[in-house]
Amino acid sequence: MSPRVVLKRFVRRLFSRGNAPTKPMPQAGSEPNLRIGTREANEPRLVCIGHSHTRTVVAAARRQGVSLAGIDFWSTGAPLVMDEGRPRFRQDIAQQLSGIVFSMVGGTAFNIMALCVHPRRFDFVLPSAPQLPFDPLAELVPFGAVRSALLAMTQDYLNLMGYVRDAARGPVYHVEAPPPFADAVRKLPREFLPYFADKSREISPHYFRYKMWRLHSEIVQDFCARRSIGFIPRPPEAVDSEGFLLPRYYADPMHVNEAYGALVLAQMRRLA
């Protein structure tokens, strides 16, 4: 199946069939969209909108009693409707996008290509860090071609970020996806193995995952610069000297835990 077909499936998930919201927005404080904590009158409203990475920040905010509206696209139902041929957010979601909006849209596309070793093992040279190790067992794929492939897989998420920017009434920041972990011994959890047709699938070398994550961040950062969206890099204290995620922030092969969410929440509050 080509990346384009996969993306078309993703796009179908984004859109409602009709123009009416498919799901009413839940009340504050209830799943799937959360408004938690209490906000002082002089505190700006914080909104965190995106995919699975939003959950760690929401969890951290809940624990600390910080007021934060969380919108997780995995729980909203199709968030977009077509309005005179142009996509826009459902009214109930658009209404939430006031105050300071933090996008955690996407952030996992690079894992589709990078998490496991491709049957035709490949690697690339990252122009911003050409000194990074190259997998000695891999064939070279030109950087520009890899970038095109990853951009195609990321494009729908970038579009979604653009809709966030269009709908938000205040500043918008995008939070960089968490970096990969360095531990090459750490394997995919056993419960994910049934999803692999090839049970011998091995996890990719850590430098390959790191390069793909950096390329993903560069693509997202370029987009943010063009659309006047601020870019919040990963918390510096969460990574080791080479830029890999420290083990204490690991949750699963693609996600970080609440402790990492607390670091991101602190970054958000410093910007508020």
Query: Contact residues for another protein (CB under 8 A)?
Result: 1-6, 9, 31, 51-52, 55-56, 58-59, 72, 74-75, 108, 111-113, 115-116, 118-120, 122, 124-125, 127, 130, 134, 139-146, 148-149, 152-153, 191-192, 195-198, 251-255
Secondary structure class of 15 (helix, strand, coil): strand
As measured in angstroms, the least distance from the Cβ of 154 to another protein is: 13
Backbone angles phi, psi at 69, to 5 degrees: -90, 125
Q: Which is nearer to another protein, 166 or 218 (CB)?
A: 218
Q: Which is nearer to another protein, 73 or 244 (CB)?
A: 73
Q: Concatenate the DSSP letters of all residues of 30-42 into one string.
A: SSSSEEESB--TT
- Residue closest to 219 by CA, chosen among 152, 121, 269, 132: 152
As measured in angstroms, the least distance from the Cβ of 40 to another protein is: 26
As measured in angstroms, the least distance from the Cβ of 34 to another protein is: 11
As measured in angstroms, the least distance from the Cβ of 63 to another protein is: 12
Q: Concatenate the DSSP letters of all residues of 133-178 into one string.
A: ---TTSEE--HHHHHHHHHHHHHHHHHHHHHHHHH-SS-EEEEPPP
As measured in angstroms, the least distance from the Cβ of 171 to another protein is: 26
Secondary structure class of 21 (helix, strand, coil): coil
Q: Which is nearer to another protein, 6 or 184 (CB)?
A: 6
Burial of 157 (0-12, 13-18, 19+ CB in 10 A): buried
Q: Which is nearer to another protein, 55 or 165 (CB)?
A: 55
Q: Which is nearer to another protein, 165 or 174 (CB)?
A: 174
- Residue closest to 11 by CA, chosen among 141, 155, 138: 155
